[in-house]
Amino acid sequence: MSSVWDVLTTALSPLLYRIIAAATIVVVTYFIVRGLERLVVILFRGLERGYVARVVEGLRIGIYAIAALIVATVIAPEIQVLSILVLLIGLSIIAMFFDVLRNIGSEFYIRTRNIVRRGDWIEIEGISIRVVDLDAFGIIGETHKLEKVFIPYSKIVSSLIINRATPLGLVARMFIGIPQSYSMDSARNSVLEAVRAVEQDLASEPNITYIGTKGGVMEFAVEFHIINYRKLSKVISTIEKEIGKRIPEAVVRA
């Protein structure tokens, strides 16, 4: 009888030790996850709750998946071959969804750096867009003509972005070409008078800068702050008409 007990003890002891080790790993993993959840909430306190919740959920799933693989390896060492296979499958999945993972990393960078926030006016590849929302895949925005625009986070990270949102409102810029037959002072004053026609919609004094002369045309850059971004098209159209009244040969680019 004792010999049978000894055989059972000898056979079950390694398995018992493995089960205890696996249980220890599970418990430790649970406390690690809880601690990391609180740490992430503290570190990302200024970010949107929805995004923080997605980060916490992704972190939790990733850690538990790794812990499950470790527990399986501890309980059944012969599963190491399967672990290698799972690793290879995981690497293949990463390669397949590289663009998605890159977009997730870009979102993390943009949100933590506060590069773009809801309500900002940004310029990307020459197009001005107001940020309406930041979802899981990219930025949803609208132009001053109320056209809907979607930009993936990876596109924002890899492009030159100008954030035109300021405490005074939206920064708008126009370029005006005036024939050299007009004097410098006359041209500048005409531009200033045209901009003052929309003075009630501006948050500050317009800034008029002489860029240079090319091909007999003087180039001016006009920069101003608009209080209501929805009036951008109207403001630009009004300025263009006022300049046309004073200098018909002028060319306006917004």
Q: Would you give per-residue pLDDT tens digits along the chain (254 residues)?
A: 445 445 445 545 666 777 787 788 888 888 888 888 888 878 877 776 767 777 777 788 778 877 777 777 776 656 565 666 566 666 766 666 677 677 778 888 887 777 787 777 788 877 778 788 887 778 888 876 778 888 888 888 888 877 766 655 667 788 889 898 888 888 888 888 888 888 887 777 788 888 888 888 999 888 887 777 677 778 888 888 888 888 888 888 87
List CB contacts of 15: < 8 A, sequence separation 6 or more. Answer: 75
| 18 within a domain of the structure (yes/no) | yes
- Residues 18 and 44 placed together within one structural domain of the fold: yes
- Residues 142 and 213 placed together within one structural domain of the fold: no
- Residues 63 and 77 placed together within one structural domain of the fold: yes
The Cα–Cα gap between 192 and 251 comes to: 15
Query: In CATH, what number is assigned to the domain containing residue 246?
Result: 3.30.70.600
- Residues 188 and 235 placed together within one structural domain of the fold: yes
- Residues 219 and 155 placed together within one structural domain of the fold: no
| 105 within a domain of the structure (yes/no) | no
- Residues 58 and 85 placed together within one structural domain of the fold: yes
Structural domain count, the chain: 3
- Residues 155 and 184 placed together within one structural domain of the fold: no
Dihedrals phi, psi of 251, to nearest 5 degrees: -115, 125
Strands (E), the chain: 121-124, 127-134, 138-142, 148-152, 161-163, 165-166, 169-179, 207-214, 217-226, 251-253
Q: Helices marked H in 97-209 — which ranges?
A: 98-113, 153-157, 184-195
User: What are the distances in angstroms from CA 68 to CA 88, 93, 205?
Assistant: 17, 18, 64
Give the domain-ending residue among 135, 165, 195: 165
pTM: 0.46
- Residues 173 and 160 placed together within one structural domain of the fold: no
Structural domain containing residue 54? 2-96
Residue 212: CB atoms within 10 Å: 8
- Residues 128 and 213 placed together within one structural domain of the fold: no
